Amino acid sequence: MKRPACVVGCCLLVFLALFFYLKPPEPESMASISGKSIKIYGIADDKYQKNKNTYLLVREAGIVSGKESNKKYKVTVKLKESLKNLSEAPKIGALVTVSGKVTEFSRARNPGNFDYAKYQIIRGIDFEIYGADAAEIPEKGRIRYMDEALCLLRERLSETIDSIYKDEDAGEIKAILLGDRTELTDELKSGYRRAGMSHILCISSLHVTLIGMGLLGLIRKTGLNKTASSIIAFSLISMYGRLTGSGISTVRALITFGLMIAAEFAGRTPDLLSSMAEAAVVIMLAKPLYVLDAGFILSFSAVCGIGMLGSPLKRLIPSDSGVIGSFRTSLSVTLFMLPETLYFFYQISVFSVLINLAVIPLLSILLTFSVISVIAGELFVPLGALFGIPVKLILALYRQITRLNDGIPLSVITPGRPEIWQIVLYYAILAGLIVYTERKYKPDTLIRVLCTAFIVLGVSMLLIRMRPDISLTMVDVGQGDCHLIETGGGKTVMIDCGSRDVDNAAKYRVIPYVLSRGHDTLDY
């Protein structure tokens, strides 16, 4: 068996996917306490600032007033008053009491809507308390001083970034370096997504590998032996992962980086697919529900694309040119992730492969100068601003690319959400392509043409939409009416789009549904 880790990972993934498909996770109903004031006690697990509000994450929370229960919950707490800095909030690991009103997480009301309750279930969070007062119980709990220090360091670095960069640049740098996307505007995020550049705003393997290898090289230059320097470097990069919130892509990158160091000790070359599978197995065993998470699926699909389609595309597009190699890598990721991209976002960027040829090479420079500017800014803000000049130029270029992309007709197409059978058929065609090119090591022109035709066929099968002659959908917008009429020819008519009790009903309920149906404009 050439890659046993991949076999184990695939089997576990299929088993969990089938299990949760047959028995989907459902949140516990909090209707009996929703909107009511309660008091809980539990352990402070994290704290952060978001949209000028202060939040606590409390685990092992027991309800001591209102409807009492012996069950322990994990709760997000929105404090009544935003604190000036996080050092004023209860320490991480401390036992705390919280008093406030309960709110349940919202469910998706229409196909294509974001299911916030499902998102929180995956992360193990049961409900939210808002307008809350929180107090730390003195000398109770076990303070996690490392996590507390990292939390305060994250806040300090965020303030340093604010002092170096202007608002828009600062939000992007916080997303890229600290994993904090709360200050990104919807316009900016959607612009990056339409250009196929959303991965720029996430902590990725490139971040972890670049910073980790930089640390490893610096530590080895001090004269420490290979073992000690590797342990120190991995410990520091793991702390960086905790500093950024330990997102799925970050955890995957940390595991992969650790396996890369282990392979060096063993005198072997790390295998991309095996490392990816081992990281997936670790995450799925620790938190099985993450197989339902979009971040998990997209993160691992990107690596699968490089590992599984990279070789077939190299045989179909043979060239030693660096540009062609980058094009093949970008194309392999785009093709493999196409079903997931459509399933979660309903749209695809036509020019994303070409755009990433320009933006990816600049990302290493962006990351390097971002790190240097923030470190320098901690010492002397003008010095940090000086090192931040290349960062500002690259970010300005990125935004200009998104604007140019939006200005090109048909740069984004909206096929909508594909059916499961279309996704299965698409991957079956890709699997056939992979197997066939493995056997034909030196394909001739005819074989290349046939393989290209199969790729086009697979993409076409994924994009096709079969519609009835006419359909009428009553979209749930809360207290109000919204009717969408669709014809077999793709014409659309919307009657009303009003709601009295739901904020931004069009943005969060109607538009996502219309996009999921494969429409980005309305005819009438």
CA proximity to 300, closest of 246, 252, 338: 252
Q: How confident is the model at residue 335 (pLDDT cuts 50, 70, 90)?
A: very high
* pLDDT for 2: 65
Q: What is the pLDDT of residue 467?
A: 86
Q: What's the pTM? A: 0.87
pLDDT at 67: 57
CA atoms of 190 and 345, how far apart (whole Å) = 10
| Percent of the chain at pLDDT exceeding 90 | 48
* Cα gap 61→72, rounded to integer Å: 5
Average pLDDT over residues 412-419: 94
Contacts of 358 (CB under 8 A, 6+ apart): 401
Torsion of CA 367, 372, 378, 382, to 10 degrees: -110
Q: In the structure, what pLDDT confidence band is assigned to residue 313 with cuts at 50, 70 and 90?
A: confident
d(CA 71, CA 126): 11
What per-residue confidence (pLDDT) applies to 221?
A: 87
Per-residue pLDDT tens for 257-310?
A: 888 888 877 777 777 888 888 888 999 999 999 999 998 998 889 888 988 888
Give me Rg for the CA atoms of the chain: 25
Rounded to 5°, the CA angle 299-304-310 comes to: 130
pLDDT above 70 coverage of the chain, percent: 97
32-74, pLDDT tens digit by residue? 888 889 999 999 999 998 888 999 999 999 988 755 567 889 9
328, 308 contact by CB (below 8 A): no
Q: Quick one: tokens of 80? A: 């009544």
Q: Residue 441 — very low, low, confident or very high, per pLDDT cuts 50/70/90? A: low
Tell me what pLDDT residue 433 has: 84
Decide if pLDDT at 129 tops 60. yes
- CB of 387 within 8 A of CB of 160? no
Strands 73-79 and 94-103: unpaired
Check residue 446 and give its pLDDT.
Answer: 75
Residue 351 amino acid letter = F
| Position 312 confidence tier, pLDDT thresholds 50, 70, 90 | confident
- Residues 289 and 19: their CA atoms lie apart, in Å, by 10
Angle CA(280)–CA(285)–CA(291) in degrees, nearest 5? Answer: 55
